[in-house]
Structure 1
């Protein structure tokens, strides 16, 4: 995201998780002459491609290790 004031690139300074699908980010402009600090929201909207079912991983069972 670009700074809405000077249009330089910004960095994320802090992130707060509001819900499982919403975060609030504090961003600051990388332009030292601007120094704008502002808040944005990052939100999950929709799935583009459904994930393939991941294989079920069995927990490690030390008693089943062959010696």
Structure 2
């Protein structure tokens, strides 16, 4: 929200468009019915205070081996030759 430059009341954005990657043009309209001024502003990125930190992804963990339904020699008698 911006203040109207004429009556200092609230002015809401009606529409906007990007002029470049870092500059946006906005069209405002005063909410005061007696004024109803319309004007446009330019919003731009002036300075980056902190850029995002690149997250390091942990190494993928290999999946645990799946148990099969049968184990070799499970049902064999240890006394059988």
Please indicate the TM-score interval, normalised by the length of the shorter structure.
0.7 to 0.9
* Post-superposition CA distance 1:14-60 (Å, at most 9, x none): 1011100001100000111100000100001111122222466xxxx
Q: C-alpha separation between the residues in 2 aligned to 1:52 and 1:34?
A: 46
Q: C-alpha separation between the residues in 2 aligned to 1:7 and 1:54?
A: 45
RMSD: 1.4
- Calculate the TM-score normalised by the size of structure 2: 0.63
Q: Which has the higher contact order (CA 8 A, sep 6+)?
A: 1
- Calculate the TM-score normalised by the size of structure 1: 0.75
Q: How many residues align?
A: 56
Alignment of 1:1-67 (within 5 A): 1-54=2-55
Q: C-alpha separation between the residues in 2 aligned to 1:38 and 1:55?
A: 46
Which entry has the higher C-alpha Rg, 1 or 2?
2
**Greater percentage in helix:** 1
What residue ranges of structure 1 are gaps of 5+ in the alignment? 57-67
What residue ranges of structure 2 are gaps of 5+ in the alignment? 58-81
